[in-house]
Amino acid sequence: VSLHKDSAVGVAAARAPFRRVLIANRGEIALRIIRACHAVGSEAVAVYSDADATARHVRAADAAVNIGPAPATQSYLRVDAIVDAARQSGADAVHPGYGFLSEQPALAEACTAAGIVFVGPSPATLAGLGDKLAARRTAAAIGVPTVPGLFEPLDLASEGWEGRLQAGAINIGFPLLVKAAAGGGGRGMRRVDAADDLAAGATSASREAAASFGDGSVYLERLVEDARHVEVQLLGDRSGSIVALGERDCSVQRRHQKLVEEAPAPGLSAAQRAELHELAIRIAGAVGLTNAATAEFLLAPTGEFWFLEVNARLQVEHGVTELVTGLDIVAEQLWIAAGRTLSPAVREAAAEATRPTRHAIEVRVSAEDPARQFAPTPGRITRWAEPAGEGIRVDSGVQAGSVVSPHYDPLLAKLLAVGPDRATALTRLQAAVKAFEAGGVQTTLPFHRWLLDQDDFRAARGLSTELVDRTWQPAPIVQEAALVAADLALKASLEPTPLPPASEPSAAAWWRAGIDAELEHRL
């Protein structure tokens, strides 16, 4: 499915899209973008905070610029520092990755003002999509089914807000969600099951939204129960052509954070895929999308798609789409930013997007404790061995000796598997998860071992964003593992010649005592 317009933006074949690309990010995604830069013949410039001076992305780049202290607000979130670093290093383009400043119109504008190409949508598109209610209004105006609810923000400091809230809720019905008008990531969001709880839910969501985003206004949306999260990968060029490269199912989440993603979404018919891709392209066309974006939808058990939002950037989980289509999406982003029209390979992949012939699944390996509500586990990685094999890909940002800083996202690596069908991809992924060795910090690997062993997940039955909360019961699993650990340590303690110390003591103890009273409870 694609939206074709006559191309007037022909660019003579160049050897590389840019001479030098600055990557305004860190970790695995910085390494991923460096790889794409090198693949198209561009140099890569890294930026780093004081905490990241020895990080892998710094060493993999052709040059690196320090942009400030460890807290992201003093480094990776500073537009001026990023643009200065680009100027100073002679970069002619900036790739923002995901997170940090990737969807901030301010960085795109500052780059343009400095004569540097921003690899992403235009500032106007970013601003239009960053306002979630504006995006909802746009989608509704062009006939894209949008989750029923309010389309204007409600200010809880205004006169008579409670009456307007109740009136809105009556039209929507319960259960519903109170959502922050600004921001995302599950913050400022409350489920409300009855009218009596509405005012309290709205007040609480508003307070959290004000604290997190500096804007306490909220809106209401129907809660679509048992829904799957399905999203469409989009690419658009400056001539106005926009294509869909297929969809991904990202239903395995907890608190709106994705844990596992796959492409294509299991169980959709070609007609459903065509319908979904067309909806996504229609929204992207309405906001003048260029470069890469992802349109997110809920898929109700009844088969309807409901538009949620557009993320106008590279997505964490873009890799599964790459494995299915054979494309290098980051490289395509660079060529599009340099003014090229969509490549023949992209058009070909788009033409086949409703009839995928491969299946890919990704698990996120994060420094989090799946037995303790996925609480972050910062510390030093003492052991790290990535799996390899047919159909296996690992995008990682760490190695043995890396420090997982509490200042940043705990994502360490993405482990992906591809095969001719879902069953093959699952088998390969399961073997790779078992072979992945990580020590020094607790990771999400044991959750993935469990998930990939579940009959329902293997059969793609009961996929829903509620799946993890409903079915993940770590207590008996971790208890058995603890008893095995006790046995193994006892056995090792009796061995006559101790091995030399493997590592300095790591930081599991950080999460004990004191600060984390909330998280600290024995199972």
Query: Do 364 and 411 touch, CB atoms closer than 8 A?
Result: yes
Under the binding rule (CB under 8 A), the answer on residue 106 touching another protein is no
- C-alpha of 483 from chain center: 35
Total residues at interface with another protein (CB under 8 A): 74
Distance CA 390, CA 425 (A): 10
Under the binding rule (CB under 8 A), the answer on residue 103 touching another protein is no
From residue 240, alpha-carbon distances to 405, 467, 508 in Å are 41, 39, 51
Distance CA 352, CA 188 (A): 39
Kind of pairing between the strands at 43-49 and 20-23: parallel
300 or 375, CB closer to another protein? 375
Under the binding rule (CB under 8 A), the answer on residue 473 touching another protein is no
Q: Which of residues 38-97 bind another protein (CB under 8 A)?
A: 70-71
Under the binding rule (CB under 8 A), the answer on residue 345 touching another protein is no
305 or 436, CB closer to another protein? 436
CA angle (294, 295, 297) in 5-degree steps: 135
Q: Which of residues 483-512 bind another protein (CB under 8 A)?
A: 483-494, 498-512
Under the binding rule (CB under 8 A), the answer on residue 207 touching another protein is no
Contact stretch for another protein (CB under 8 A) within 36-44, 134-142, 173-181, 446-454: 446-454
Q: How far is the CB of 448 from another protein (least distance, A)?
A: 8
Length of the chain as a residue count: 523
Among 441, 463, 467, 468, binds another protein (CB under 8 A): 441
Residue 313 annotated as catalytic: yes
28 or 247, CB closer to another protein? 28
Beta partners for residue 221, in sequence order: 149, 177
Under the binding rule (CB under 8 A), the answer on residue 471 touching another protein is no
Under the binding rule (CB under 8 A), the answer on residue 410 touching another protein is yes
Among 49, 321, 442, 464, binds another protein (CB under 8 A): 442
Q: How far is the CB of 391 from another protein (least distance, A)?
A: 21
Under the binding rule (CB under 8 A), the answer on residue 440 touching another protein is yes
How many CB atoms sit inside 10 A of residue 255's CB? 12
From residue 241, alpha-carbon distances to 158, 253, 292, 326, 342 in Å are 43, 32, 12, 20, 7
Under the binding rule (CB under 8 A), the answer on residue 449 touching another protein is yes
Among 140, 407, 427, 466, binds another protein (CB under 8 A): 407
171 or 479, CB closer to another protein? 479
Task: Write the DSSP string, 95-160.
Answer: E--SSTTTT-HHHHHHHHHTT-EESSS-HHHHHHHHSHHHHHHHHHHTT--B-SB-SS-B-TTSTT
Contact stretch for another protein (CB under 8 A) within 22-30, 79-87, 196-204, 515-523: 515-523
Contact stretch for another protein (CB under 8 A) within 28-36, 199-207, 354-362, 430-438: 430-438
The active-site residue, picked from 313, 372, 393, 428, is 313
Question: Six-digit token pair at 41?
Answer: 């013949």
Under the binding rule (CB under 8 A), the answer on residue 474 touching another protein is yes
Query: Do 297 and 218 touch, CB atoms closer than 8 A?
Result: no
Active site residues: 313
